């Protein structure tokens, strides 16, 4: 999977609105180098969101669970909008305060959604989805309120970021890219170390408990790790939706339910998916002379129908 991801990344780096000049050498070209940094960010974001989605679906035993749907992405977005102002107030670097506040927003959102959906020690899957919708609306209202206090010259960037976009300027922000990438990799490895416990949990809380799994502790740890990965992804590229829904389901369809394999494959699958989606956005923008299409638009167009199909299937299974 790592080799396939590298091949996809290399192929995507050769395509774009501007061709890579061959006379000076592909790898020496600054255009190619800028594109590779952008694709690295896309790969990290995709891996983080796919891994987070897989973990939520396994933890909650709900195929519709995903960071964007449950409001974690919008909660992290509130933290991202607070990052520059808080960093200036506290005299801290934005590359450090933005991911930290994004994680705080995601953690608060996760705690609220979990608290609403928890009934007598168990989670109601439909209440969980409704809680996510409600919290998403609330976080959206907070984001709109924060935009009212944003300087006019920064509003365009925030609106563009809110659509989900892999930015070009990460070349000039290596500390932010490195920090967020580290957060995603740490979360990914930690989720893999808990994959055996997730397999036990898929058999039910009682079976997992009798097998030595602390269900409550596993839930708390997983929500923290999901918040860590989601906040890093949002800090880099904004609230990109449905990656954590589409990729885990495709991987599960191909490989089965074993989280020991799925955690690794979903991460690489998410990386390839988002690199391809971002490349498609760049090419479509050039073909139709639309500028650069945010990658969040492509994932939403793909994920919306996917979510409806899963929801209808879930409803039929419930009626059956």
- Sorted by where each starts, the structural domains of the chain and their CATH numbers stand as 28-315 (1.10.3470.10)
DSSP state of 167: -
Between residues 181 and 84, which one has the greater pLDDT?
Answer: 181
Q: pLDDT at position 169, please? A: 76
CA separation for the pair 106, 102 (Å, rounded)? 6
* Residues ≥6 apart with Cβ < 8 Å to 295: 42, 164, 165, 166, 237, 240, 274, 277, 278, 281
How far apart are the C-alpha atoms of 64 and 245, rounded to whole Å?
A: 7
Tens-digit pLDDT profile for residues 212-252: 888 889 988 999 999 999 999 998 888 898 899 999 999 99
pTM of the complete model: 0.88
- The pLDDT score that the predictor gives to residue 199 is 92
47 with 273: CB under 8 angstroms?
no
13-17, 32-36, 271-275: which has the highest mean pLDDT? 271-275
State the pLDDT at residue 274.
Answer: 94
Q: How far is CA 18 from CA 9, 35, 137, 211, 295, in A?
A: 17, 10, 39, 56, 18
DSSP-H helix ranges across the chain: 2-13, 30-60, 72-90, 94-117, 125-148, 152-162, 174-193, 195-201, 205-210, 215-237, 243-255, 259-287, 295-319
What confidence category does residue 166 fall into, taking pLDDT thresholds of 50, 70 and 90? confident
Give the model's pLDDT for residue 118: 80
CA dist 81 and 83 (Å) reads 5
Q: Is the pLDDT of residue 262 over 90?
A: yes
133-159 mean pLDDT: 82
User: Could you read off the pLDDT of 69-84 as tens digits, one per residue?
Assistant: 889 999 998 888 887 6
Rounded CA separation 189/225 (Å): 10
Whether 206 shows a pLDDT value over 90: the answer reads no
Determine the Cα–Cα distance for residues 177 and 150; give it in Å rounded to an integer. 24
User: Rounded to whole angstroms, how far apart are CA atoms 200 and 87?
Assistant: 43
- Output the pLDDT for position 320: 44
Q: Which helix (H) or strand (E) holds 119?
A: strand 118-119
């Amino acid at each position: 999977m790592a080799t396939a991801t590298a091949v996809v990344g290399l192929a995507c780096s050769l395509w774009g609105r501007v061709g890579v000049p061959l006379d000076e050498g592909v790898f020496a070209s600054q255009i190619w180098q800028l594109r590779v940094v952008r694709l690295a960010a896309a790969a990290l974001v995709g891996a983080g969101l796919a891994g987070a989605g897989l973990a939520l679906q396994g933890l909650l035993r709900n195929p519709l669970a995903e960071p964007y749907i449950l409001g974690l992405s919008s909660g992290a977005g509130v933290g991202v909008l607070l990052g520059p102002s808080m960093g200036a107030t506290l005299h801290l670097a934005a590359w450090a305060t933005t991911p930290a506040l994004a994680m705080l927003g995601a953690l608060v959102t996760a705690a609220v959604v979990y608290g609403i959906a928890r009934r007598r020690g168990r989670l109601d899957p439909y209440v969980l989805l409704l809680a996510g919708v409600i919290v998403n609306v609330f976080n959206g209202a907070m984001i709109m309120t924060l935009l009212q206090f944003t300087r006019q010259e920064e509003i365009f960037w925030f609106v563009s970021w809110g659509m989900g976009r892999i930015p070009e300027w990460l070349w000039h922000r290596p500390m932010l890219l490195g920090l967020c990438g580290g957060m995603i990799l740490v979360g990914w490895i930690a989720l893999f170390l808990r994959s055996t416990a997730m397999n036990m949990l898929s058999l039910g809380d009682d079976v997992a408990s009798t097998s030595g799994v602390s269900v409550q502790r596993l839930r708390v740890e997983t929500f923290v790790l999901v918040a860590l990965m989601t906040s890093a992804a949002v800090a880099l590229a904004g609230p990109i939706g449905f990656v954590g829904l589409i990729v885990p389901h495709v991987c599960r369809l191909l490989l089965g339910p074993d989280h020991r394999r799925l955690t690794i494959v979903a991460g690489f699958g998410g990386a390839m998916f988002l690199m391809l989606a971002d490349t498609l956005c760049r090419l479509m923008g050039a073909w139709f002379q639309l500028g650069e299409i945010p990658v969040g638009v492509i994932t939403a167009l793909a994920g919306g129908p996917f979510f409806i199909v899963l929801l209808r299937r879930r409803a039929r299974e419930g009626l059956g």
